[in-house]
Amino acid sequence: NKKKKSGRPNNLTIEEKILLTLEYFREYRTYFHLGLDYNLHQSNVYLTIKKIEKILINSQEFKLPGKKILTESS
């Protein structure tokens, strides 16, 4: 038996979820303010960002430069 999830389902498309995550990374907006734009509760914004972030990291295509490279380019 699977436990039934409570609350509203997240109705964002995968494209919207990626855009939401990129807006969070780019603009450092709060979960609350992103939630207003996407009609989601801030806890759903957080969960969506964490899920997309995990997918991107596991894909090996999403890598941020290390601290050493950032300090060398200055």
Query: What is the C-alpha separation between 13 and 56, in angstroms, rounded?
Result: 16
Task: Indicate the DSSP class of residue 10.
Answer: -
Residue 37 lies in a domain: yes
Does residue 8 form part of some domain? no
Residue 43: the pLDDT is 95
Res 63: pLDDT: 73
* Number of independent structural domains in the chain: 1
In a domain, 29, yes or no: yes
pLDDT of residue 44: 96
Which structural domain range is residue 18 located in? 14-72
pLDDT band per the 50, 70, 90 thresholds, residue 14: very high
Residue 5 forms part of a structural domain: no
pLDDT average, residue stretch 10-20: 92
Does 74 have pLDDT greater than 60? no
CA angle 35, 43, 36 (to 5 degrees): 10
Distance of CA 24 to the CA centre of its chain: 7
- 44 lies in some domain: yes
* Residue pLDDT, tens place only, 26-69: 998 999 999 999 999 999 999 999 999 999 889 988 777 777 77
